Amino acid sequence: MAEFVSIEVDAGVGTIRLDRPPVNALNNQVQIELADAAAEVTERGDIRAVVLYGGEKTFAGGADIKEMAAKSYVEMATFGAALQGSLAALANIPKPTVAAITGYALGGGLELALTADRRIAGDNVKVGQPEIQLGIIPGAGGTQRLARLIGPSKAKDLVYTGRFVKAEEALALGILDEVVAPDDVYAAARKWAAQFANGPAVALKHAKAAIDAGLEVDLATGLKIETQLFTALWATEDQANGMNSFIENGPGKATFEGK
pLDDT in tens, 132-148: 999 999 999 999 999 99
Which of 12-26, 70-84, 207-221 is predicted with the least confidence, judged by mean pLDDT?
70-84
Active site residues: 111, 131
The answer to whether residues 139 and 83 touch, using CB atoms and an 8 Å cutoff, is yes
Report pLDDT digits (tens) over 36-51: 999 999 999 999 999 9
Angle at 212 between CA 207 and CA 214, to 5 degrees: 95
Order of strands across the sheet that contains 165-166: 104-106, 126-128, 165-166
pLDDT at residue 99, rounded to an integer: 98
Q: Mean pLDDT throughout 242-253?
A: 88
pLDDT at residue 253, rounded to an integer: 83
In a 3-state reduction of DSSP, which class is residue 119? Answer: strand
Which residues on neighbouring strands pair with residue 50, listed in sequence order?
A: 14, 97
pLDDT at residue 111, rounded to an integer: 97
Peptide bond into 138 cis (omega under 30): no
Measure the CA–CA gap between 215 and 232, rounded to whole angstroms.
20
Angle at 153 between CA 151 and CA 156, to 5 degrees: 105
pLDDT at residue 225, rounded to an integer: 97
CA atoms within 13 Å, Cβ hemisphere of 94:
16
Give me the percent of the chain exceeding a pLDDT of 90: 83
pLDDT at residue 65, rounded to an integer: 86
Domain ranges of the chain: 5-194, 201-249
Measure the CA–CA gap between 150 and 119, rounded to whole angstroms.
13
Residue 67 — pLDDT band, cuts 50, 70, 90?
confident
Phi, psi at 71, each rounded to 5°: -85, 150
Residue 2 — pLDDT band, cuts 50, 70, 90?
confident
Mean pLDDT of the chain: 94
- DSSP 8-state symbol, 63: B
Buried b (16+ CB within 10 A) or exposed e, 239-252: bebbeebeeeeeee
Report pLDDT digits (tens) over 185-230: 999 999 999 999 999 999 999 999 999 999 999 999 999 999 999 9
Measure the CA–CA gap between 117 and 177, rounded to whole angstroms.
10
The answer to whether residues 121 and 104 touch, using CB atoms and an 8 Å cutoff, is no
Multiple choice CATH, 5-194, 1.10.10.10, 3.40.47.10, 3.30.420.40, 3.90.226.10: 3.90.226.10
CATH topology of domain 201-249: Lyase 2-enoyl-coa Hydratase; Chain  A, domain 2 (1.10.12)
- DSSP 8-state symbol, 195: T
pLDDT at residue 191, rounded to an integer: 98
Residue 61 — pLDDT band, cuts 50, 70, 90?
confident
Which residues on neighbouring strands pair with residue 231, listed in sequence order?
A: none
Please indicate, yes or no, whether the overall pTM of this predicted structure exceeds 0.85: yes
Write the Ramachandran bin of 141: left for phi over 0, alpha for psi from -120 to 50, otherwise beta: left
